[in-house]
């Protein structure tokens, strides 16, 4: 029991009794925990079908589906902190390409995975859908 207390000591958001929603991605706090299976490669996938942000020109809402896949090394992303991080984009003015790359950069900075990819599948506006994929490291096998 003592080992798990130490292992999860840095997870402040998951333990919080009250959820505070960050206003911007810069104000959000991504958290990680130790990967106990560092000796093998395995893929973690987060599927976030309710992503929203704002167009930086028109201020209109943009809706998308974000898929994050990564092979962890020493750390794994804690899912509640990721949920709050992605939620923080809802009032953020950003292009689709920027948001996908910003998410990837935050993931890489936090947990330095062996490989990672972030895919954004954005709903059409003006008759055009935009899909963006940003990668880090080696290709992740399907």
As its CATH architecture, domain 2-137 has: 2-Layer Sandwich (3.30)
| Res. 117: pLDDT tops 90 | yes
| Res. 3: pLDDT tops 80 | no
Q: Which tens digits make up the pLDDT trace of 120-131?
A: 999 998 899 999
Average pLDDT, the chain: 91
- Catalytic positions: 55, 62
Give pLDDT, residue 17.
61
Are 53 and 94 in contact, with CB atoms under 8 Å apart? yes
Give pLDDT, residue 10.
73
What pTM did the predictor assign? Answer: 0.87
Average pLDDT, stretch 34-50?
Answer: 97
Local structure of residue 105 (DSSP, 8 states): H
Lowest mean pLDDT among 27-31, 49-53, 54-58, 138-142: 138-142
C-alpha to C-alpha distance for 134 and 15, rounded to whole angstroms: 31
Residue 75's pLDDT band (boundaries 50, 70, 90)?
very high
Question: Which distant-in-sequence residues (6+ apart) come within 8 Å of 31 by Cβ?
Answer: 10, 11, 12, 13, 14, 77, 78, 81, 110
């Amino acid at each position: 029991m003592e080992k798990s207390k130490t292992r999860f000591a840095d997870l402040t958001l998951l333990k919080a009794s009250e959820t505070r929603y960050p206003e911007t991605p810069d104000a959000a706090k991504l958290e990680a925990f130790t990967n106990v299976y560092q000796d093998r490669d395995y893929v973690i996938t987060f599927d976030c079908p309710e992503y929203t942000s704002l167009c930086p020109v028109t201020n209109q809402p943009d809706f998308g589906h974000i898929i994050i896949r990564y092979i962890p090394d020493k750390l794994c992303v804690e899912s509640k902190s990721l949920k709050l991080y992605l939620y923080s984009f809802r009032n953020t003015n950003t292009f689709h390409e920027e948001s996908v790359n910003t998410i990837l950069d935050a993931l890489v900075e936090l947990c330095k995975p062996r490989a990672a990819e972030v895919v954004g599948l954005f709903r059409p506006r003006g008759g055009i859908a935009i899909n963006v994929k940003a990668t880090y490291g080696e290709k992740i096998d399907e």
